Amino acid sequence: MKRRDFLRSGAGVALAASGGLAVPHVARGAENRVLRFIPQANLANLDPIWTTLYVVRNASVLFFDTLYGVDSSFNPQPQMCEGHTVSSDGLTYDFKLRPGLKWHDKEPVLSKDCVASLTRWMVRDNMGQMIKTRLAEIAPIDDRSFRIRLNQPFPKLVYALGKLGTPIAFMMPERMAKTDPFKPITEYVGSGPFKFRKDEWIPGASAVFERFDGYIPRQEAPSWLSGGKVVHFDRVEWKIIPDAATASAALQNGEVDWWETASADLAPILKANASLNVDIADPLGNIGDFRMNHLFPPFNDQRVRLAALIGANQADYLQAITGTDTNLWKQSASFLTPGTPLYTEFGGDNLKRHDIAAARKLIEEAGHKGTKVNMIVGTDVPIAKAQGDVTADMLTKIGLVVDYVNTDWGTVGARRTQKKPVADGGWNIFFTWHAGVDCTTPGANPAFFANGDKAWFGWPTSAPVQDTIDAWFDAPDLAAEQKVARDFNKASMDFVTFVPTGFFKGYQSWRKSLSGVVAAPFPVVWGVEKKACSRDPSP
Amino acid sequence: MLGHITRRVAATIPVMLFVAFFIFSLLYMAPGDPAAIIAGDQASPSDIAHIRASLGLDRPFVVRFADWLWQVLHGNLGDSIFTNLPVAHMIAQRIEPTLSLMVLTTLISVLIAVPLGVVAAWKQGSFIDRAVMVLAVLGFSVPVFVIGYVLAYIFALKLGWLPVQGFVPISGGVWPFLRTLILPSAALGLIYVALIARITRATMLEVLSQDYVRTARAKGVGSREVLFVHALKNAAVPIVTVIGNGVALLIGGAVVTETVFAIPGLGRLTVDAILRRDYPVIQGVVLLFSVTYVLVNLLVDLLYTLFDPRIRY
């Protein structure tokens, strides 16, 4: 071999080894058709009925579709449905599907699929369960129409079909929807604007959604879960990056386009970067929850719960959770989400007092001065830990003795289900938070319920609270709903179902090469476009 | 030799059975409930109970262990509770990044640390010796994640030479593959370099004081030959032992490194599975790590015969 041949072949080998020449412009054009996105958490499953995790809902929104979709004004709009009719007695709803709807396997969407999907969803969703208790019949009329017949009117039926909180009433082919609602589906065929690429799914690392050519968007402008879902990407690649510093660096380096939950700590760095936008992710934010066990002393005594409510200072909690950035939090004497139609602070005066002396007096009156309270705190979850630390300080000040159990979220999840006394593995307090989208109405969140054994962890029992929740389901119009919401907030504050520790939001951040990013309760990909990249986004 | 290998491999079977039983018991006793995590915050207590029953988590310990062991003995590691995917498939998806990271780290570390240790011993008390010792102390003292962040800041964010995160399989090209591994290997390798360099230095100092080295020098053998032919070969047994034992260090370090550099490897799979209480995945991965560790130690034992002819099995 001559020297030049050797060099030539060596260069060829080196070139091949390096993965080829620089990416040509055509490939860069294709690059603009790929959205690289860091979701809020690992996507470990894709059955939005089996699990109510929000990350699963957010992925499901890409490849499943809904009959109705709630818009940014909280009104349900037709999505897969062309429309519906309601009988004059409010008992019979006839729904008609849009023509041309297809599943990702190219089969037509039929009414029997929707009937099976709704039947599965009704088992797991609390609004669905309410429908089920009033259901006389749900059955196909023809391939594109089906009927729901009730034995008692349910004015929230269409809203329930389009609601944003988990579990959403997503439509699936009948064969998938017939899966036991307590077991996961094993195939992922939807009718949404993207197909899920199961072959490219690496749980804990990445998930890929590919544009579905058979999707026919509606003509209306997009608004949250409703309207025309016009997509401008051939692929949406979810990259799971659990470490916030790495996610931030990847975004700054142009390796990803969009980070759903930009950490508040890193927001100043991201805001200082000229290539990035930083803004509120979800305008509905979250509401912190300091949750007490109503079954055992001392929190089976309403005076002790009230003392905790009076002693709590939301500003302390919110600063501990989000820092001093006041764009991210708001004190709110309400169980409901600020800025939504039913929001009210009626009855919330005690939560505004943060009067330690008065709280201490109540504890003494209840005979619980020096009583030990067990707090299970998932310290691997910053929001839970922040609430735990603030609460420990407050409870000590009002005269209780805190047993702070430092553990992980997985353990909290298991232990909070225990109805036993603390000595036998039970608990007195744990901390969590609720997505604002689940707190827009009294009936949307099981954590509001006060129906004893059937209620959420802590098992509160209060007829006045539960009556207002039941009344909301039957409220015929917005004015009636608003009145019920006021009664609900007051009853819940008086009874102290739990202590709301305040309203807080989070940032999202995206590269300026993206346009059309909106603030919504979930990442809305339709309408988003990408311009040419300024930096090689490899790997 | 063949008989020894057979006996050693056979001896791993009770070890693996013990590991399997130990891990299963540990997970059984550990607090946490995958059903509660699956169900999510919106689920009611009865939903969680239903899911727990459907997953078979309400069955007695003995039944669950026997069921799992029976599957393992048939070559089936079971399915993930969360993803519903076979554990073997999930491990197969993750093995290349971790294996690549560990092999590259070992290779780079040995190539750097052994010469450093030899030179430090040869020039004991010199500037080079002190520099190697400072590097070793640094390697032992600075956590892997700190080194990772510093490297990513300099070489990815500031210089833009390398990516911050991710992994490209070798089928995607050698250079793209190496680009994603350089920073993680450097971060993970520092502690390994420190460990190997220190042991090499200490062992070499001992060997260099032996009579036969003095004799070799007296006979006029050159320094390079004394160091790398006579001394290093005789110092190799403890060095190889440390390299072998260091695999456990690498496995532990890979968990952190893979998280910092978002590498989809077995370390991250393990952490995710532990946080979610995905028992079949944890059991599968721990079993794999145990087998790897046992086999690496077997390999180290066999390598002894190469370096020291007096060792016979």
DSSP string, B109-134: HHHHHHHHHHHHHHTTTSHHHHHHHH
B188: distance to nearest CA of chain A, Å? Answer: 16
Both tokens assigned to B192: 């390994």
DSSP 8-state class, residue A444: S
B171 interfacial to chain A (CB closer than 8 Å) = no
Q: Is B312's pLDDT higher than 80? A: no
Q: Is A96's pLDDT higher than 50? A: yes
B143 interfacial to chain A (CB closer than 8 Å) = no
Is the distance from CB of A430 to CB of A281 less than 8 angstroms? no
Q: Residue B33: its chain A contacts at CB < 8 A? A: 410, 413-414, 417
Q: Which of B54-58, B208-212, B303-307 has the lowest mean pLDDT?
A: B303-307
- For A456, name the nearest residue in chain B, comparing CA atoms only: B44
Q: What is the rounded CA–CA span in Å between residue B30 and residue B38?
A: 17
Find the mean pLDDT for residues A67-79.
Answer: 96
Q: Which of A287-291, B68-72, B177-181 has the lowest mean pLDDT?
A: B68-72
**Bond preceding residue A167 cis, omega within 30 of 0:** yes
Band of the pLDDT at B121, cuts 50, 70, 90?
very high
pLDDT per position as a tens digit, A147-164: 999 999 999 999 999 999
Band of the pLDDT at A11, cuts 50, 70, 90?
very low
Contact B175 A19 (CB under 8 A): yes
Q: What is the pLDDT of residue A442?
A: 96
Q: How far is CA B202 from CA A171, A432, B123, B239, B311, in A?
A: 68, 54, 12, 10, 22
Q: What is the pLDDT of residue B6?
A: 85
Is the distance from CB of A66 to CB of A128 less than 8 angstroms? no
Q: What is the pLDDT of residue B305?
A: 80
B81 interfacial to chain A (CB closer than 8 Å) = no
H or E stretch covering B161: none
Q: Is A421's pLDDT higher than 50? A: yes
B262 interfacial to chain A (CB closer than 8 Å) = yes
Q: What is the pLDDT of residue B294?
A: 84
- 3-state SS record for A454-500: HCCCCCCECHHHHHHHHHHHHCCCHHHHHHHHHHHHHHHHHHCCCEE
A88: distance to nearest CA of chain B, Å? Answer: 34
Is the distance from CB of B176 to CB of A19 less than 8 angstroms? yes
Find the mean pLDDT for residues A461-488.
Answer: 97
Q: Is A6's pLDDT higher than 80? A: no
Q: What is the pLDDT of residue A12?
A: 41
A406 - beta bridge partners? A377
Contact B275 A414 (CB under 8 A): no
Is the distance from CB of A415 to CB of A427 less than 8 angstroms? yes
Is the distance from CB of A260 to CB of A43 less than 8 angstroms? no
Count of CB pairs separated by less than 8 Å, A with B: 172
- For B270, name the nearest residue in chain A, comparing CA atoms only: A204
Q: What is the pLDDT of residue A29?
A: 67
With a CB cutoff of 8 Å and minimum separation 6, the contacts of A444 are A126, A127, A163, A165, A437, A438
Is the distance from CB of A50 to CB of A181 less than 8 angstroms? yes
H or E stretch covering A421: none
Is the distance from CB of A500 to CB of A334 less than 8 angstroms? yes
A120: distance to nearest CA of chain B, Å? Answer: 13
Band of the pLDDT at B229, cuts 50, 70, 90?
confident
Q: How far is CA B184 from CA A513, B162, B180, B225, in A?
A: 29, 11, 8, 35
Q: What is the rounded CA–CA span in Å between residue A286 and residue A291?
A: 15
- For B265, name the nearest residue in chain A, comparing CA atoms only: A205
Q: What is the pLDDT of residue A13?
A: 39
DSSP 8-state class, residue A297: T
SS3 at position A503 = strand
* Whole-complex ipTM: 0.85
pLDDT per position as a tens digit, A32-51: 899 999 999 989 889 999 98
Q: What is the pLDDT of residue A15?
A: 39
With a CB cutoff of 8 Å and minimum separation 6, the contacts of B43 are A52, A124, A446, B36, B51
- State chain A's mean pLDDT as an integer: 92
Q: Is B243's pLDDT higher than 50? A: yes
pLDDT per position as a tens digit, A306-326: 999 999 999 999 999 999 899
Is the distance from CB of A62 to CB of A524 less than 8 angstroms? no
Which candidate in A125, A253, A441 is best for mutational testing of the B interface (most B CBs within 10 A)?
Answer: A253
